[in-house]
Amino acid sequence: MIKIGRKYLQLGPVLFAMFFLLVQVVADLSLPTLTAKIINEGIAKENLPYIWQMGGIMLAIAITGWLGAILNVYFASSQSQRLGMRLRQALFNKVSYMDTDNVAKFGNATLITRTTNDVTQLQNVFQTALRMMMMSPLLFIGAFIMAWRLDGRLTLVFAIALPILAVVTLINMRISIPRFKVMQEKVDRINLLFQQGLTGVRVIRAFNRDDYEITKFDDANRDLTHNAQVVFTTVAMLLPIMTVILSFTNIGIVWFGAKLIGAQMMPVGNLVAFLTYATQILMSFMQLSMVMVMIPRAQASAGRVSEILNTTDQITDPAVAEELTTAEVSLDFNNVTYQFAEAKRPALDSINLHVTSGQTLAIIGGTGAGKSTLINLIPRLIDPTIGSVILNGTNVKQLRQAEVHDLVAITQQSAVLFSGTVRSNMLFGRPEATDQMIWDALTIAQAADFVREQGGLDMNVEQDGVNFSGGQRQRIAIARTLIKDAAVYIFDDSFSALDFKTDALLRQSIKQESRLKSAIKVIVAQRVATVMDADQILILEHGMVVGLGSHRELMKDNQAYRTIMQSQLSEADLEEVGLNA
Ligand SMILES: Nc1ncnc2c1ncn2[C@@H]1O[C@H](COP(=O)(O)OP(=O)(O)OP(=O)(O)O)[C@@H](O)[C@H]1O
């Protein structure tokens, strides 16, 4: 937590906050003594000029203290808000560049809780630190010294009151601190269930699991509520206990004070001032204990936030990046093997590929064969466990990630659209694109007609593109990939949501578009019809290459390819390609 404070707070404003706090504390501590003086010297001796003079001084001190308090709150609040703002930004930046593996390891729910809830905890504790945490010890010690100066004998009352208060506070902290610490994890769980419930709402409904999900959420919600109730009730109980202790302390002070006054050993004003100091001592002690309860929770939040900020990514820019020396487009896989961290066997095993400018590489294979893993290696979303991926003659590991991302355009398996308009989604692919360029890309992707019909480029796109059909979403996502000026265009099973005719038209348009002529196209597909006219067809099975060649070559001597053909094409189609059913 201290590290976070040192990194995100500004020294100047923090010193100002401390200074103004000191002004307030000095004012608060001097007023009771002046009250004693006014009573002892002014009221008791009926010295009106003295009362006026002292009254004026007290008013000036009160106003100074009040200004000190306002300015302290101003600096404390602006610093803690600034810390929150910068911390949220740092987290967002970190997550934006984080390895996809790390993002998956944390999970969306906790990343959101940590960026919102945990940062708010830290913001609150720093706000409190710059005020209460500094004020309470100063006030406690200061009031004790002032009370001692007024009458050392009366301070013996605290020898009874403070130990009782300390024991009560310790018990309170022992109950509340562990529960405060786990609070964030319980909020995580709520977020996770809520997110899952929202994204999976259709599946849940289709399987009639609404009650099950609702019960699960209810359990988590009750758990959080119960925990919070215990914590806050325990902390709240401090106040009435404190009031009782304070009342008994005051009774003790008045009792002994009256005796001292009766014996003419203490003036009346001192007793009045002493009572005020007693309140300040006990109140600041209680405030301090409440702050102490906040610290472990904030410490837990600081740990959770730092865990994200300190995550080391496996995929980083090289210390000295290489420059691409050629504009010649090519893609090579040299003996590439990839194994997921916890997996028993590689998802890809010894893959060798050589694709040249203008070629289309199609990748076909069953579910889990390793198709997505293979294409994720191209834009360096993951790095090979063994071997290398060479783009335009250079190992992608030697290039800056931004350069690799510039060279590769990709449409993921599930089309992701952002809330905004069709235009804003398209500009995501190419910020400087004109309307004409956008329409051209939409036309190639067979999306122009329905976009025109449904409202044009300014048509609203809702979050996740829910106001489009699956096929329409897919086509806009493809258009967004096509508008980019890239060396390699990748379509990860992106044509699966399209009907046969649109699929064929789209591939035809991509082939004819002169801008895309020299680029490499990588098409992952399940349908043979989609891959048949590719220059190279790669057949993957359990991460291994079981066939690589053109349709004609594979038809001749590749049993795996022939089997896929037989399983997918009609008898008439098989006759046409020379295969009997
Ligand atoms: N994050 C992961 N951790 C561990 N194993 C994984 C992970 N992602 C994928 N795998 C495994 O790696 C293998 C290849 O997965 P991949 O997603 O590349 O298959 P795919 O051919 O694209 O499948 P599909 O056609 O179903 O999308 C599978 O056996 C899968 O279970």
Reply yes or no on whether the pLDDT at 490 is more than 70: yes
Weakest-pLDDT range from 180-189, 360-369, 384-393, 437-446: 180-189
277 and 146 Cβ atoms separated by less than 8 Å: yes
* 172 or 83: which leads in pLDDT: 83
Calculate how far, in angstroms, residue 528's C-alpha sits from the geometric centre of ligand 1: 21
| Mean pLDDT of the region 165-189 | 85
550 pLDDT tier (thresholds 50, 70, 90): very high
CA atoms within 13 A on the CB side of 186: 18
Atom of ligand 1 nearest to the CA of 492: 22
- Looking at the predicted structure, is the pLDDT value of residue 226 above 60? yes
Lowest-pLDDT choice from 97-106, 306-315, 477-486:
97-106
Cα of 345 vs centre of ligand 1, distance in Å, is 12
Ligand 1 nearest-atom number relative to CA 543? 14
How far, in Å, is the centroid of ligand 1 from the Cα of 102? 16
53 confidence band (pLDDT: 50, 70, 90): very high
- Looking at residue 464, its amino acid is D
Report pLDDT for 562.
Answer: 87
For ligand 1, atom 28, name the residue with the nearest CA: 368
pLDDT band at 395 (very low <50, low <70, confident <90, very high): very high
Residue with the smallest CA separation from ligand 1 atom 29 is 368
Residue 217's pLDDT band (cuts 50, 70, 90): very high
| Interval 165-169 mean pLDDT | 88
Q: Where are the alpha helices (DSSP H) in 263-363?
A: 268-309
Q: Higher-confidence residue: 229 or 465? A: 229
Ligand 1 geometric centre to CA of 366 (Å): 11
- What integer is the mean pLDDT of 116-135? 89
Q: Taking 80 as the threshold, does the pLDDT of residue 235 lie above it?
A: yes
Mean pLDDT along residues 476-501: 89
Mean pLDDT calculated for residue range 455-483: 89
Q: In percent, how much of the chain has pLDDT > 90?
A: 46
Percent of the chain scoring above 70 in pLDDT? 97
Give the closest residue (by CA) to ligand 1 atom 6: 340
In a 3-state reduction of DSSP, which class is residue 457? helix
User: Would you state the pLDDT for residue 577?
Assistant: 57
297 φ/ψ angles, rounded to the nearest 5 degrees? -65, -45
Mean pLDDT of the chain: 88
pLDDT over 50 (residue 203): yes
Taking the centre of ligand 1 as the mean of its atom positions, its distance from the CA of residue 383, in whole angstroms, is 15
Interface predicted TM-score of the whole assembly (ipTM), two decimals: 0.95
CB 355 within 8 A of CB 550: no
Degrees to nearest 5, angle at CA 433 with 429 and 438: 80
pLDDT for 345: 92
CA of 544 to the centre of ligand 1 (A): 13
Structure tokens at 514: 């002169």
Residue in 348, 388, 407, 353 with CA at minimum distance from that of residue 372: 348
- If you measure from the C-alpha of residue 340 to the centroid of ligand 1, how many angstroms do you get, rounded to a whole number? 9
Ligand 1 atom nearest residue 365's Cα: 21
Report how far ligand 1's centroid is from the alpha carbon of 305 (Å).
30
Pick the residue with more confidence: 500 or 73? 73
Atom of ligand 1 nearest to the CA of 104: 1
Which residue ranges form the domains of the chain, and what is each CATH number?
Answer: 2-309 (1.20.1560.10), 330-549 (3.40.50.300)
Write out residues with Cβ below 6 Å of ligand 1.
340, 343, 347, 365, 367-373, 413
Confidence (pLDDT) at 282: 87
- Please say if the pLDDT value at position 191 is more than 70: yes
Q: Which residues of 283-296 are buried (b: 16+ CB within 10 A; e: fewer)?
A: bbbbbbbbbbbbbe
Mutate to test the pocket of ligand 1, among 349, 373, 544 (most ligand atoms within 8 A of CB): 373
The residue whose C-alpha atom lies closest to atom 18 belonging to ligand 1 is 370
C-alpha 368 to ligand 1 mean position (Å): 5
Residue 69 predicted with pLDDT over 60? yes
The closest-lying atom of ligand 1 relative to the alpha carbon of residue 370 is 18
User: pLDDT category, 580, cuts 50, 70, 90?
Assistant: low
Looking at residue 293, what is its pLDDT?
76
pLDDT band at 581 (very low <50, low <70, confident <90, very high): very low
Q: Is the pLDDT of residue 76 over 90?
A: yes
* Neighbour-count burial of 247, counting CB atoms closer than 10 A to its CB (0-12 exposed, 13-18 middle, 19+ buried): exposed
Tell me: pLDDT of 212 over 60. yes
Confidence of residue 290 (pLDDT cuts 50, 70, 90): confident
Atom of ligand 1 minimally distant from the CA of 542:
29
Residues 351-365, mean pLDDT to the nearest whole number = 93
Q: Which atom of ligand 1 is nearest to the CA of 526?
A: 25
Q: Which residue of 348, 364, 372 sits with most ligand 1 atoms within 8 Å of its CB, as the best mutation to test the pocket?
A: 372
- Distance of alpha carbon 111 from alpha carbon 100, whole angstroms: 13
Three-class SS of residue 298? helix
Q: What angle do CA 361, 362, 365 make, to 5 degrees?
A: 140
Residues in contact with 571: Cβ distance below 8 Å, sequence separation at least 6, in sequence order: 581
pLDDT at 213: 87
Alpha-carbon distance values, 405 to 13, 391, 400, 429, 437 (Å)? 41, 11, 9, 11, 21
What is the Å distance from ligand 1's center to 344 Cα?
13
